């Protein structure tokens, strides 16, 4: 019994209510709740490191009847990442909204989003997950509409429709599971699921709902406009955290619950879709005319990589070989979370400073905003997958494992995706270094420029140089030690 797990959910919720009843002090509620949530996320991670996994049955009701919260290496790592990204983004947001109304609308919704996200990561049963998924989706839509431009509203309506469709598919799957097995608790289910039609149909329904929400090609059509038209702090959270939550659930279902019901072909199919996402998303990002649209398409591509991991993961022999791929997958997801949020925040600074984010007219940005440009470059390095970023090591492991299990198909996909990413990142930097207006101060607005830089440094240096700890955290049994000559 461990009461700690309630706090990453409860603290943002309390903050959200405070911000609602006390809009003039909403900034403080937001920052305070974010700091507190980060602190407890750190405690959860420390506990997971000691015990491998944690469980809390709320109110003492046993799972099956009551609600269970669980944390293991995967969920704790994502929890830590999301609360860190959320804090940095919140600090950025304190200086972003100049309109008092928007500001009053932003904080309660934002903290609700974080609440839903944390609850989703810690939930141990499928119905609870459905509820948090729905809540997450609604909060995300409301935040995406905050821009209040026509384009933002249109995108938000589409986002809402698609999100509801996804939830509906997921809920149908959950209903089937309950009809077939009489329980929704995931750890109980894991022992009961067999390779039979009921399990396949249920998994197919839930997975397709999640694929829509994670914007896997070709279900990505709603993402670029929704993410690109939202206010910058919202875009950062949507791209870095929200789509990843859906992917996290796919991972949970496929690896922990339905693993016995799966053949290799199913994972291969997701991998192929992922490959298309990598190429198509990177290409569209390269062709994008606006910085935020570029970042949104880049998310489509990076989500694709996560799905490319799946077939390699499931084809690797359980044990050390699979653990290596799994650690790399988590490392990739974490690095992308930090890098993408940094990129969106940086894009937000450029957008506010220049009044537009048209890439072709970014000349002089490197001179006017050196810190932000540097942050964009660092985040870009992680998006391409160059050393010393975490994605570099993750891609190395992905390619090595793909070669070992004989899935050569992914090698050219990864190569082409990385080169295209290089093209779109350096297209931005090329324009930013180009001739243009104005020499600004080295650091214009610390509260706006520093969060992006710090997130980018985490993605590029901290996760890269300390990557080995990610492996030892999420797959504790793995032998890490360097090979001595």
Partner 1 sequence: MSLSASLPLLILLSSLVPGLVIFLLHEESRRLRTVLNLLGATVKMILVGVMIWGVFHEQVYETRWTLAPGLDLVLHADALSVLFVSLSTLLWLVTTVYAIGYLEGSPHRSRFFGFFSLCVTATVGLALAGNLFTFVVFYEFLTLATYPLVAHKGTPEAIRGARVYLAYTLAGGMALLIGAVWLRTLAGPLEFVQGGILGGMEHLDPWALRWIFLLLIVGLGVKAALVPLHGWLPQAMVAPAPVSALLHAVAVVKAGAFGIVRVVYDVYGVEFAASLGVLALLGAAAAVTIIYGSVKALSQDHLKKRLAYSTVSQVSYIALGTAVLGPLATIGGMVHLVHQGVMKITLFFAAGNYAEALGVHRVSEMDGVGRRMPGTTLAFTVGALGMIGIPPVAGFVSKWYLGLGAVESGAAIWVLPVLVGSSLLNAAYFLPILYRAWFKQPPAAWPGGHEQAVGRWEIKGALLWPPLVTAGLAIAAGLFAAAPYSPLEWARLIAEREYSS
- Give the C-alpha distances (Å, rounded to integers) separating 447 from 12, 325, 357: 21, 37, 20
Minimum CB–partner distance for residue 301 and partner 1 (Å) = 16
Minimum CB–partner distance for residue 435 and partner 1 (Å) = 5
Of 265 and 439, nearer to partner 1 (C-beta) is 439
Of 195 and 411, nearer to partner 1 (C-beta) is 411
Minimum CB–partner distance for residue 462 and partner 1 (Å) = 12
Residue 281 contacts residue 219 (beta carbons within 8 Å): no
Q: What is the DSSP string of 96-143?
A: T--SHHHHHHHHHHHHHHHHHHHHHHHB-BHHHHHHHHHHHHHHHHHH
| Chain positions contacting partner 1, by CB under 8 A | 324, 327-328, 366-367, 370, 374, 381, 384, 386-388, 392-393, 396-397, 399-400, 403-404, 411, 415, 418-419, 422-423, 426, 429-430, 433-435, 442, 464-465, 467-468, 471, 478-483, 485
Minimum CB–partner distance for residue 51 and partner 1 (Å) = 22
DSSP state, residue 458: I
395: nearest Cα among 419, 424, 423: 419
Of 3 and 484, nearer to partner 1 (C-beta) is 484
Q: What is the DSSP string of 349-405?
A: HHHHHHS--BGGG-TTHHHH-HHHHHHHHHHHHHHHT-TTSHHHHHHHHHHHHHHHT
Q: What is the DSSP string of 22-70?
A: -GGGHHHHHHHHHHHHHHHHHHHHHHHHHHSEEEEEGGGPPBTTB-EEE
d(CA 155, CA 145): 8
421: nearest Cα among 273, 275, 279: 279
Minimum CB–partner distance for residue 386 and partner 1 (Å) = 5
Minimum CB–partner distance for residue 299 and partner 1 (Å) = 21
Minimum CB–partner distance for residue 479 and partner 1 (Å) = 7
Of 200 and 396, nearer to partner 1 (C-beta) is 396
Of 201 and 478, nearer to partner 1 (C-beta) is 478
Of 21 and 415, nearer to partner 1 (C-beta) is 415
d(CA 480, CA 472): 7
- Sequence-ordered list of residues with C-beta below 8 angstroms from that of 289, at least 6 positions apart, any chain: 358, 359, 360
- Sequence-ordered list of residues with C-beta below 8 angstroms from that of 478, at least 6 positions apart, any chain: 320, 323, 324, 327, 471, 472
Of 130 and 392, nearer to partner 1 (C-beta) is 392
Of 138 and 312, nearer to partner 1 (C-beta) is 312
**Token digits of residue 398:** 């992905």
Of 222 and 392, nearer to partner 1 (C-beta) is 392
**Token digits of residue 412:** 């050219």
Which of left, alpha, beta for 319 (phi over 0: left; psi -120 to 50: alpha)?
left
Minimum CB–partner distance for residue 434 and partner 1 (Å) = 5
* Crossing angle for the helix pair 467-474 and 320-354, to the nearest 10 degrees: 130
Minimum CB–partner distance for residue 484 and partner 1 (Å) = 8
CA 337 vs. chain centroid, Å, equals 5
Minimum CB–partner distance for residue 390 and partner 1 (Å) = 9
d(CA 428, CA 72): 39
Q: What are phi and psi of 53, to 5 degrees?
A: -155, 155
**Token digits of residue 256:** 């922990």
d(CA 179, CA 162): 26
Minimum CB–partner distance for residue 288 and partner 1 (Å) = 17
Of 18 and 312, nearer to partner 1 (C-beta) is 312
- Give the C-alpha distances (Å, rounded to integers) separating 354 from 269, 367, 453: 43, 13, 19
Of 136 and 420, nearer to partner 1 (C-beta) is 420
Minimum CB–partner distance for residue 375 and partner 1 (Å) = 13
Of 49 and 201, nearer to partner 1 (C-beta) is 49
């Amino acid at each position: 019994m461990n009461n700690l797990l309630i706090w990453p959910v409860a603290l943002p919720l309390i903050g959200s209510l405070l911000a609602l009843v006390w809009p003039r002090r909403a900034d403080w509620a937001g920052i305070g709740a974010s700091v507190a949530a980060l602190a407890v996320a750190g405690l959860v991670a420390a506990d997971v490191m000691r015990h491998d996994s944690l469980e809390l049955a709320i109110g003492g009701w046993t799972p099956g009847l009551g609600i269970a919260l669980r944390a293991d290496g995967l969920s704790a790592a994502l929890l830590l990442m999301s609360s860190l990204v959320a804090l940095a983004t919140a600090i950025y947001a304190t200086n972003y909204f100049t309109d008092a109304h928007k500001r009053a609308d932003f904080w309660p919704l934002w903290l609700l989003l974080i609440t839903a996200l944390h609850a989703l990561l810690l939930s141990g049963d499928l119905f609870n997950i459905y509820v948090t998924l729905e809540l997450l989706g609604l909060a995300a839509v409301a935040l995406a509409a905050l821009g209040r431009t026509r384009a933002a509203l249109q995108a938000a309506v589409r986002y809402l429709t698609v999100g509801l469709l996804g939830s509906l598919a997921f809920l149908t799957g959950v209903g089937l599971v309950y009809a077939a097995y009489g329980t929704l608790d995931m750890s109980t289910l894991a022992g009961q699921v067999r390779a039979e039609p009921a399990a396949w149909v249920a998994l197919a329904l839930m997975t397709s709902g999640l694929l829509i929400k994670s914007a896997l090609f070709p279900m990505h059509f709603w993402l670029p406009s929704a993410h690109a038209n939202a206010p910058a702090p919202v875009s950062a959270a949507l791209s870095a955290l929200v789509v990843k939550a859906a992917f996290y659930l796919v991972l949970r279902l496929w690896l922990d619950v339905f693993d016995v019901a799966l053949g290799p072909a199913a994972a291969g199919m997701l991998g192929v879709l992922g490959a298309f996402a990598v190429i198509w998303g990177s290409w569209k990002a390269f062709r994008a005319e606006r910085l935020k649209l570029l970042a949104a398409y880049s998310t489509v591509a990076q989500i694709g990589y996560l799905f490319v991991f799946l077939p390699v993961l499931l084809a690797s022999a359980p044990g050390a070989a699979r653990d290596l791929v799994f650690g790399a997958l988590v490392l990739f997801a974490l690095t992308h979370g930090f890098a993408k949020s940094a990129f969106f925040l940086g894009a937000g600074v450029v957008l506010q400073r220049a009044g537009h984010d048209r890439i072709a007219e970014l000349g002089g940005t490197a001179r006017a905003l050196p810190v932000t440009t540097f942050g964009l470059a660092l985040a870009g390095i992680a998006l391409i997958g160059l050393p010393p970023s975490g994605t570099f090591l993750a891609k190395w492991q992905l390619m090595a494992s793909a070669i070992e299990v004989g899935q050569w198909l992914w090698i050219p996909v990864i190569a082409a995706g990385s080169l295209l990413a290089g093209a779109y990142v350096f297209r931005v930097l090329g324009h930013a270094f180009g001739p243009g207006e104005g020499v600004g101060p080295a650091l214009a607005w610390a509260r706006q420029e520093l969060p992006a830089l710090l997130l980018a440094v985490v993605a590029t240096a901290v996760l890269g140089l300390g990557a080995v700890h990610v492996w030892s955290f999420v797959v504790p049994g793995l032998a890490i030690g360097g090979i001595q000559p």
